[in-house]
Amino acid sequence: MHILCHELNMNWTRKGDNIERFVISASEAESQSISKLLPSLVSSAQSLACPSISNFPVAAVELGTSGHIFVGVNMEFPSLPFHHTIHAEQFLLTNMANNVETHLDSFAVSAAPCGHCRQFLQELRDAPDIQILITSHKNPHFSPLSHFLFHHFGPHDLFPKTVPLLLEPRHNALSLPQNDHFNVLAKEFEILS
- What is the spatial distance between Cα 190 and Cα 35, in angstroms, rounded to a whole number? 54
| Mode of pairing for the β-strands spanning 131-134 and 143-144 | antiparallel
Contact 46, 57 (CB under 8 A): yes
Other CB atoms within 10 Å distance of the CB of residue 191: 7
Contact 34, 101 (CB under 8 A): no
The yes-or-no answer on residue 89 being catalytic is yes
Catalytic residue among 28, 62, 76, 89: 89
H/E stretch holding 144: strand 143-144
Residue numbers annotated as active site: 89
